[in-house]
């Protein structure tokens, strides 16, 4: 029975890692994969380990989370190789026969472990990607991010503002321009299909429906997800119509984080439709929205001018957002809890 070893940070796991592990598994009976994380890293080790468990459910692949705060390069510590041997031996149940890497350090490491080194793809020709490239500009390297972890890297852009400022049409235009998906305002869909007039009890199902559609849409997004409003808007309307609040909603309206918000101003004509009734309150509604943004501690971009001008401004902003690095906030336990649909 041959025993192979792969070690990595998987910060984050990508398709190159999947290639390495798949190839390694073909060459041995049992494979141990050590997921090594450090406290200071921006994606928590616990989450990386959970992702790896989901990516490799094979019972012959043993995943082990290593939290030793070891030196990272030989020049950092004269005992570097001894330290790593100790870590590896204390986290593997059996003697390692083969070490699989795509690294030059595979040779010296296999020597101290007393095993054979099998180099898989030093030049990374098969899957030309590194984890640092993904951290730097995830959207540019979307194809190499495993599908199940993509939602964590999606850049969510919310369009906010009072009634009749062009949110829905701008959201659709942006989604089309950037060839990605968007979610409509759930309240509209919900209320249009309701026979009786809206009442206070509608707000919780609206909020839950909106969040659920955000979570679902992030799974198939190609990197940017446009949201026609979010729970902050639901919170503002609940206050305006009923002077009321729902703790579940408030916690998420204020706690959920988005890559960016576009705040649409009221400098275009108000258009009546069957769900709108606040045409006389445009100024005061804008003030309520601005207060809510402040309360939620959200930065935003103003979007003003006629429809064409709004479109131009928004596209320019989104192009900048596309090139941003990963956002460490997306990986916090708190955000995962708020987005988790129990």
Ligand X SMILES: NC(=O)c1ccc[n+]([C@@H]2O[C@H](COP(=O)([O-])OP(=O)(O)OC[C@H]3O[C@@H](n4cnc5c(N)ncnc54)[C@H](O)[C@@H]3O)[C@@H](O)[C@H]2O)c1
* Residues at the site binding ligand X, with contacts judged by CB under 6 A: 7-11, 16-17, 19-20, 36, 72-74, 84, 101-103, 105, 109, 120-121, 124, 127, 129-131
Q: How far is the CB of 236 from ligand X (least distance, A)?
A: 44
* Pick 102 or 221: Cβ nearer ligand X: 102
DSSP string, 116-177: EEEE--TT--SS---HHHHHH-GGGGGGGS-GGGGGGG-EEEEEE-STTSSHHHHHHHHHHH
* Pick 68 or 189: Cβ nearer ligand X: 68
Q: How far is the CB of 309 from ligand X (least distance, A)?
A: 44
Longest Cα separation, the chain: 79
Q: How far is the CB of 86 from ligand X (least distance, A)?
A: 12
* Pick 32 or 101: Cβ nearer ligand X: 101
Residue number of the CB atom closest to ligand X: 16
The number of residues making up the chain comes to: 342
* Pick 49 or 263: Cβ nearer ligand X: 49
Q: How far is the CB of 133 from ligand X (least distance, A)?
A: 10
Q: How far is the CB of 73 from ligand X (least distance, A)?
A: 5
* Pick 23 or 265: Cβ nearer ligand X: 23
DSSP string, 58-115: -TTEEEEEE-----SSGGG-TTHHHHHHHHHHHH-SS--SEEEESSTTHHHHHHHHTS
For 231-259, b/e burial (b = at least 16 CB within 10 A) is: bbbbbbbbeeeeeeebeebbebbbebbbb
Known binding residue 62? Answer is no
| Bind-site residues for NAD(+) | 14, 69-84, 101-103
| Bind-site residues | 14, 69-84, 101-103
């Amino acid at each position: 029975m041959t025993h192979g070893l792969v070690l990595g940070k998987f910060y984050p796991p990508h398709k190159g890692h999947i290639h390495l592990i798949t190839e390694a598994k073909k060459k041995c009976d049992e494979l141990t994969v050590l997921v090594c994380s450090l406290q200071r890293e921006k994606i928590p080790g616990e989450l990386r380990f959970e992702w790896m468990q989901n990516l490799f459910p094979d019972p012959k692949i043993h995943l082990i989370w290593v939290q030793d705060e070891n030196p990272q390069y030989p020049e950092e510590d004269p005992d570097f190789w001894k330290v790593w041997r100790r870590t590896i031996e204390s986290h593997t149940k059996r003697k390692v026969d083969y070490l699989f890497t795509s690294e030059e350090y595979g040779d010296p490491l296999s020597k101290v472990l007393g095993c054979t080194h099998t180099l898989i793809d030093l030049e990374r020709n098969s899957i030309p990607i590194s984890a640092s490239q993904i951290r730097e500009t995830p959207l540019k390297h979307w194809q190499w991010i495993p599908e199940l972890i993509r939602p964590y890297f999606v850049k969510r852009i919310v369009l906010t503002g009072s009634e009749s400022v062009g949110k829905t049409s701008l959201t659709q235009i942006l989604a089309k321009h950037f060839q990605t998906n968007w979610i409509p305002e759930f309240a509209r869909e919900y209320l249009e299909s309701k026979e009786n007039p809206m009442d206070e009890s509608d707000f919780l199902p609206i909020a839950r429906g909106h969040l659920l559609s955000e979570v679902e849409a992030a799974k198939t997004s190609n990197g940017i997800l446009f949201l026609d409003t979010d729970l902050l808007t639901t919170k503002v309307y609940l206050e305006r119509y009923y002077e009321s609040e729902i703790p579940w909603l408030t916690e998420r309206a204020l706690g959920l984080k988005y890559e960016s918000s576009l705040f649409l101003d009221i400098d275009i004509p108000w258009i009546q439709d069957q769900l709108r009734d606040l045409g006389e309150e445009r100024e005061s509604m804008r003030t309520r929205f601005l207060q809510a943004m402040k309360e939620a501690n959200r930065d935003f971009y103003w979007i003003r001018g006629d429809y064409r001008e709004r479109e131009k401004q928004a596209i320019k902003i989104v192009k900048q957002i596309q090139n941003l690095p990963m956002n460490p906030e997306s990986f916090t336990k708190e955000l995962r809890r708020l987005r988790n649909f129990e």
